[in-house]
Chains A and B, each alone.
Chain A
Amino acid sequence: AQTVTQSQPEMSVQEAETVTLSCTYDTSESDYYLFWYKQPPSRQMILVIRQEAYKQQNATENRFSVNFQKAAKSFSLKISDSQLGDAAMYFCAYRSGGGSNYKLTFGKGTLLTVNP
């Protein structure tokens, strides 16, 4: 079974600075997808970024980018120019690219605090 590990329960960053959230995963599959979701205090789960395992190029979405290291099974999220609105719980998630279920397997989350 796949597992997702977020080794940083909490992180903090100064406004306008850059922060990197770590995620590692364990799988024997070659076809899969990785995601970062953001959960602000409103509890809504918001998709931040996705990465297909077959793509070598790291995904970017405005101030959010990932460092995808397939051999190391690492998928970190970099937030540049941090803003107060970035404060949230961040979840890394894995999904198989095949099989009979396409569930998301989540890590336990990293709580990000942004200091003004």
Chain B
Amino acid sequence: EAQVTQNPRYLITVTGKKLTVTCSQNMNHEYMSWYRQDPGLGLRQIYYSMNVEVTDKGDVPEGYKVSRKEKRNFPLILESPSPNQTSLYFCASSLHALYEQYFGPGTRLTVT
């Protein structure tokens, strides 16, 4: 089944403890992206990747890192999480940047 998977789905952590949210797609998509969703703000892009080893900042990249060493994986790294990073995170992918994006199931992150 073609899909975008994210792990973990739920995470509660403490300020400053490094964490990684994984994202994987099995559709051989070139384009991948991370968004965060906050009440009243819709979804905002954090980082995106046009292909392997090609990543760039979105609208709200502060406090996040990403890497794209393999085509299928696009992990989101929070080196030192803070409470303002409490949010719902979505990974998305598309065959090419111009095609529609398919979303993972979301990761609910709480930073205390």
Contact = CB atoms under 8 A, between A and B. Distances in A.
Contacts of A75: none
Contacts of B40: 108
Given A91-B43, A107-B42, A108-B41, A101 B58 contact: yes
B103 interface: yes
A101 B48 contact: yes
B90 A45 contact: yes
Chain A at the B interface: SS class: loop
Contacts of B58: 101, 103
Contact of B45 (A35, A50, A103): A103
Contacts of A108: 40-42
Interface of B: 31, 33, 35, 40-45, 48, 56, 58-59, 88, 90, 92, 94, 97-98, 100-103, 105-106
29 contacts: A33-B98, A42-B105, A43-B88, A43-B105, A43-B106, A44-B106, A45-B43, A45-B90, A45-B103, A46-B103, A47-B102, A91-B42, A91-B43, A100-B56, A102-B31, A102-B94, A102-B97, A102-B98, A103-B45, A103-B48, A103-B58, A104-B35, A104-B43, A104-B45, A104-B101, A106-B42, A106-B43, A108-B42, A109-B42
